[in-house]
Amino acid sequence: MQAISTITWPAIVAPVVGPSIGGFITTYASWHWIFLMNVPFGIAALTAVIAIVPNERGGDRRPLDLPGFVLSGAALTLLLYGTELASHMEANLLVALGFVLGGLVLGVIAYRHALGSTHPLLDFSTLKVPTFSVTVLTGSATRIGIEAVPYLLPLMFQIGFGMSAFRSGLLLLASALGNLGMKMFTTRIIRRYGFRRVAVTNVAIAALFVLACSLLAPATPLPWILLTLFIYGLARSLQFSTLATLAYADIGEAQKSAASTLWSVAQQMTIGMGIAFGALALRVAAYFRGADAMTPEAHFILADFHWAFVMAGVLTLLTVPGYRGLARNAGSNLGGGTRQAESGTAR
């Protein structure tokens, strides 16, 4: 549990640290450098993998599921493109909806193919494990709602508050501090209260502070803004670490490879869909306000961002029942929920 909590922190912190660095570069240099900076980091990561990670292979060689690769790849591409397209003010919603529906149809075909394949690229049988199913399905919806915030906040600070990109990015450091600070307590909290109670309570807290972002305004005192972002960061970190740890709690050795593939796909999808959801929520808010469907950011006002945060918060809050479906002793074999499991046995 401690190991997973440690290795997940870069992925959790990066989206909230990025706007600060990106804002500094955009304000004092050129936005082109944001992309150029990825080159040395990519080379360093590749070098580290070659030097440190052992080239271990499984005993069984499996053929590539080419039909599954094509079907699932096309389905995910259409879903992401359709969702992203719908977020643009100038885009035709019917066209975007067509891409989304096409992705869903191909997704169903890919799912049916996987069920009948001997060596499927995406093995959906892992979803029969309750803890894994909740972290993938319910967890994906949670991540979409929570991941919309790092996209919406810097835009709101710049467009709604009139701040520079650098200053708006600096405010998000409060969220980054919350993400990092929670790492010291994640393992102890889960061991004390159990995965189910932590997931249910914490996702509600995360939803409330996403909703609290809809109350922020230029006249809001700076300490309240920083406190809101800090607690959001705490809840975000704890929820994502809980999901990452619980995902493999009941997965057998033979299913770990398949579960890892499906879990990685879900994670990557929801990062992109979180951004797309935030952008789409802005467009919906602007549409009901009566804004013309022309260029995006120039037509957004502060109220649009407030409604977008409401939509993201409601989506996050709607995932609470999914976590309530977990067994009370879920993850007890990892050290989470041990006290609850013992008390249940005693009774």
Instruction: Indicate whether 155 and 75 sit together in one domain.
Output: no
Give mean pLDDT, residues 127-154: 91
Q: Check pLDDT > 90 for residue 312.
A: yes
Q: CA-to-CA distance for 306 and 182, rounded, in angstroms?
A: 27
- Asked whether residue 41 is domain-assigned, the answer is no
Instruction: Indicate whether 193 and 286 sit together in one domain.
Output: yes
pLDDT digits (tens, 9 = 90+) for 178-218: 888 888 888 889 888 989 999 999 999 999 999 999 999 99
Q: Is the dihedral of CA 212, 214, 215, 220 positive or negative?
A: positive
Instruction: Indicate whether 308 and 179 sit together in one domain.
Output: yes
- All residues at 6 or more sequence positions from 124 whose CB lies less than 8 Å from its CB, including other chains: 111, 114, 115, 262
Contact 285/304 with Cβ under 8 angstroms? yes
pLDDT (0 to 100) of residue 6: 58
* Counted domains in the chain: 2
Q: CA-to-CA distance for 328 and 322, rounded, in angstroms?
A: 13
Q: CA-to-CA distance for 307 and 105, rounded, in angstroms?
A: 31
Average pLDDT, the chain: 83
Q: Check pLDDT > 80 for residue 231.
A: yes
- Asked whether residue 146 is domain-assigned, the answer is yes
How far is CA 59 from each of CA 56, 64, 65, 346, rounded to the nearest angstrom? 10, 16, 18, 43
- Split at pLDDT 50, 70, 90, the class of 343 is very low
Residue 305, φ and ψ in degrees, nearest 5: -65, -40
Q: Range of 256's domain?
A: 2-30+127-346
Q: Check pLDDT > 60 for residue 154.
A: yes
Instruction: Indicate whether 328 and 229 sit together in one domain.
Output: yes
Tokens 């909230």 sit on residue: 16
Amino acid found at 70: V
- Split at pLDDT 50, 70, 90, the class of 164 is confident
Q: CA-to-CA distance for 232 and 213, rounded, in angstroms?
A: 9
Task: Indicate the residue among 99, 120, 141 that finishes a domain.
Answer: 120
Provide the 10 A C-beta neighbour count for residue 294.
9
- Asked whether residue 54 is domain-assigned, the answer is no
Q: CA-to-CA distance for 75 and 109, rounded, in angstroms?
A: 9
Q: CA-to-CA distance for 18 and 151, rounded, in angstroms?
A: 10
> H-helix or E-strand containing 34?
helix 32-36
pLDDT (0 to 100) of residue 235: 94
Instruction: Indicate whether 220 and 330 sit together in one domain.
Output: yes
- Asked whether residue 304 is domain-assigned, the answer is yes
- Split at pLDDT 50, 70, 90, the class of 49 is confident
| Between 56 and 138, the higher pLDDT residue | 138
pLDDT digits (tens, 9 = 90+) for 17-30: 666 677 677 777 77
| Between 1 and 342, the higher pLDDT residue | 1
Amino acid found at 99: F
Q: Check pLDDT > 80 for residue 160.
A: yes
- Asked whether residue 37 is domain-assigned, the answer is no
Instruction: Indicate whether 159 and 229 sit together in one domain.
Output: yes
pLDDT (0 to 100) of residue 296: 46
Q: Check pLDDT > 80 for residue 114.
A: yes
Provide the 10 A C-beta neighbour count for residue 306.
19
Instruction: Indicate whether 113 and 228 sit together in one domain.
Output: no
Contact 176/19 with Cβ under 8 angstroms? no
Q: What is the CATH number of the domain that holds 13?
A: 1.20.1250.20
Q: Which two tokens stand for residue 28?
A: 């004092």
Q: Check pLDDT > 90 for residue 223.
A: yes
- Asked whether residue 318 is domain-assigned, the answer is yes
Instruction: Indicate whether 173 and 252 sit together in one domain.
Output: yes
Instruction: Indicate whether 112 and 155 sit together in one domain.
Output: no
Q: Check pLDDT > 60 for residue 245.
A: yes
pLDDT digits (tens, 9 = 90+) for 2-20: 555 555 556 656 665 666 6
Contact 110/303 with Cβ under 8 angstroms? no
Task: Indicate the residue among 82, 97, 120 that finishes a domain.
Answer: 120
pTM: 0.81
Q: CA-to-CA distance for 188 and 176, rounded, in angstroms?
A: 20
- Asked whether residue 51 is domain-assigned, the answer is no
Residue 54, φ and ψ in degrees, nearest 5: -70, 145
Rounded CA Rg of the chain = 21
Give mean pLDDT, residues 46-62: 79
pLDDT (0 to 100) of residue 24: 74
Task: Indicate the residue among 85, 120, 155 that finishes a domain.
Answer: 120
pLDDT (0 to 100) of residue 183: 81
- Split at pLDDT 50, 70, 90, the class of 311 is very high
Q: Check pLDDT > 90 for residue 230.
A: yes
Phi-psi category of residue 44: left, alpha or beta, with phi > 0 → left and psi -120 to 50 → alpha: alpha
Give mean pLDDT, residues 113-121: 86
Q: Which two tokens stand for residue 162?
A: 């009139």
Instruction: Indicate whether 257 and 182 sit together in one domain.
Output: yes
How far is CA 226 from each of CA 141, 178, 233, rounded to the nearest angstrom? 26, 10, 10
- Split at pLDDT 50, 70, 90, the class of 297 is very low
DSSP state for residue 253 in the 8-state scheme: G
- Asked whether residue 47 is domain-assigned, the answer is no
Instruction: Indicate whether 282 and 160 sit together in one domain.
Output: yes
pLDDT (0 to 100) of residue 263: 86
pLDDT digits (tens, 9 = 90+) for 75-111: 989 988 888 787 776 777 788 889 989 999 999 999 9
Instruction: Indicate whether 315 and 230 sit together in one domain.
Output: yes
- Split at pLDDT 50, 70, 90, the class of 219 is very high
Q: CA-to-CA distance for 34 and 92, rounded, in angstroms?
A: 30
Contact 146/210 with Cβ under 8 angstroms? yes
Q: Check pLDDT > 70 for residue 59.
A: no
Contact 190/239 with Cβ under 8 angstroms? no
